[in-house]
Amino acid sequence: MTVLHLPCARPAAIIPPSEAFRSAAWIAAEVFLGAVSKEWVLLHCPREQLSRKVVRYYESRVRRWIADRQRVVCA
């Protein structure tokens, strides 16, 4: 019987996310300053689907999405 000796890999370092996930209510209140509803954010903004029911947002990704939409409208 041949035994394979594989190099021992170090466990991957856990890198904390650079930004926290935000809820739709937080995005509506803080990014849109209450101008839109939580339901509007759920339907229109780019999101991360964590499970069948759990949806979260990155603030920077939503702000980039808004800036891109403003550029299209102004062009």
| SS3 label, residue 55 | strand
Q: What is the pLDDT of residues 2-44, one digit of tens each?
A: 666 666 666 656 555 678 899 999 999 999 999 999 999 999 9
Residue tagged 């903004």 (tokens): 45
Give the burial class of 27: count Cβ atoms within 10 A of its Cβ; 0-12 exposed, 13-18 middle, 19 or more buried: buried
Q: What is the pLDDT of residues 47-65, one digit of tens each?
A: 999 999 999 999 999 999 9
